[in-house]
Copies of this chain bind each other. A is one copy, B any other.
Amino acid sequence: MIDPRVASGLRDLLPAVMIPRERILRTFRETFASFGFVPIETPHIERMEVLTGKGAGSEEVLRQIFEVTNKGGTPGELALRFDLTVPLARFVARHIDEIGVPFKRYAVGSVFRGERPAKGRFREFVQCDFDTIGTDSRLADAETALVIYSALTAAEVPRFTIALNDRKILDGALEALGLDGKTGLVLRSLDKLNKIGRDGVHAELARPAEEGGAGLSEEQAAGILDFAEGGRGRTDVLDAAEARFGANERAARGIADLRAVARLLEAGGVPADRIAIDLGLARGLDYYTGVVFETTVDGWERFGSVASGGRYDNLASLFTPRRLPGVGASIGLDRLLALMEEAGALKGAGTAAPVLIANFPGTDPGVPMRLASALRKGGIGCEIYPEPIQVGKQMGYGTKHGHKLAVIVGPDEVAGETFNLRDLETRHEDRGLAWSVLEDSVRGALEVIEHRGASS
């Protein structure tokens, strides 16, 4: 016998997880589409050169790459994608003349990283990305945050907050403080504020460059930290930033842009208290150049951001001389689901077919087959128990799998062309209903059950 385990760091997804997962993915796809984003798909396997091109991924990600070879293939030529952004850049460089700009795409797919296996970290996970490419517009910036708001709200994610910043403000402030040569190091440290706290970040910033720090003076480090920590709140923090750094041209543009985005989000119907300006938010990746977003679920901040992104100046510079600015974000489906499960916010893990039709011993199985087809034609999902075992056991199966109602047709019912309808929760049973009212009876009973669920 071969051991049926999965490889280290990988996992099977069982129906109880998959059912809400598929429902949420469907909600995301519908939301993306309702904003005019269209789907694309790229292969799971890319040419190694595409994935490892200068700047495509961080060193850490490149260390984790899975190489792919087939018999007769050359080793080192192919690999599994580690995100959906590098494939998007390649895709856009290859197809943009055909597609044209602005190009609004979404993509949902597995990505692979050979991370050291740990609780809650998997070597294959799903990203849901959407991007607007070929425009510098503030409207596209705001729309990106609006899509996050709309998608998470539609998926019934518990109350969450979208943190917003514009990288130009941070860059301008560092410039004004004479630290623009150290932007990368400083931003990477600032991103750890939630993880390692002010003292930890201060230590990193003040550590000499030879020891891997940013080499700031105590005063500079404190100044940056005051700016980042003091810059959290509503749009009024932008007034304070303007008073301090408004003379710096880059910072001033960033402040104006972020004000425009916040105003457009309000016009789009996002409640002001769901948006938080966070002037310390950097999103380490070097390629962000404008607005940046992070989304945390209130009270569950320790899970980190569940939806992040930002504006970049040039998506596909590795693959084409054509400058392609854009803005986009990625929803981390696996992290979001783990959070929702722990928060008790994952509903409806049961079957999508609410009705179980019994396979009554000694009766013609053509009868349940006929009744099931009639119900499905009316849009009501139903399952027939495949074998004519004891009806009580069939009801047990229905209860376990989340069916709401059972339709039972024994020999007497076949003779009289009737059925019995059992509520699998209350065990109440209506008997002797005519086949001609099957669809109406089931629909009515399902409405009663739904109403009971909503009011309890």
Contact = CB atoms under 8 A, between A and B. Distances in A.
A40 B18 contact: yes
A370 B10 CA distance: 44
A143 B351 CA distance: 17
Interface in A318-349: 318-321
A50 interface: yes
Nearest to A100: B400
B42 A386 contact: no
Interface in A137-155: 137-140, 142-143, 146, 150
A12 B353 contact: no
Contact of A139 (B77, B321, B352, B369): B369
A32 to B, nearest CB: 9
A201 to B, nearest CB: 31
A38 interface: yes
B387 A268 contact: no
Contacts of A78: 7
A276 interface: no
A366 B264 contact: yes
Contacts of A67: 68-70
Interface string A230-271: 000000000000000000000000000000000110111100
A223 interface: no
B112 A45 contact: yes
Nearest to A5: B94
A104 interface: yes
A267 B381 CA distance: 17
Name A's interface SS: mixed
B43 A7 contact: yes
Given A67-B68, A370-B268, A381 B50 contact: no
Given A2-B49, A50-B2, A66-B70, A12 B42 contact: yes
A27 interface: no
Contacts of A406: none
Interface in A115-148: 123-124, 132, 135-140, 142-143, 146
Contacts of A403: 36
A374 to B, nearest CB: 8
Contacts of A91: 4, 12
Interface residues of A, number: 114
Interface in A270-320: 316, 318-320
Interface in A39-94: 39-47, 49-50, 53, 63-73, 77-78, 80, 90-91, 93-94
B2 A15 contact: no
Contact of A65 (B34, B70, B135, B359): B70
A138 to B, nearest CB: 7
A281 B98 CA distance: 44
Nearest to A92: B4
Interface in A1-27: 1-7, 10-15, 18-19, 21-22, 26
Contacts of A263: 366
Interface of A: 1-7, 10-15, 18-19, 21-22, 26, 29, 33-36, 38-47, 49-50, 53, 63-73, 77-78, 80, 90-91, 93-95, 98-100, 102, 104-105, 110, 112, 114, 123-124, 132, 135-140, 142-143, 146, 150, 263-264, 266-269, 316, 318-321, 351-353, 356, 359, 365-370, 372-373, 376-377, 381-387, 397, 400-401, 403
Given A36-B384, A67-B70, A268-B370, 6 more contacts: A1-B320, A26-B26, A34-B381, A35-B353, A69-B69, A268-B369
9 contacts: A2-B53, A6-B42, A7-B45, A13-B40, A14-B99, A19-B38, A35-B382, A36-B381, A102-B386
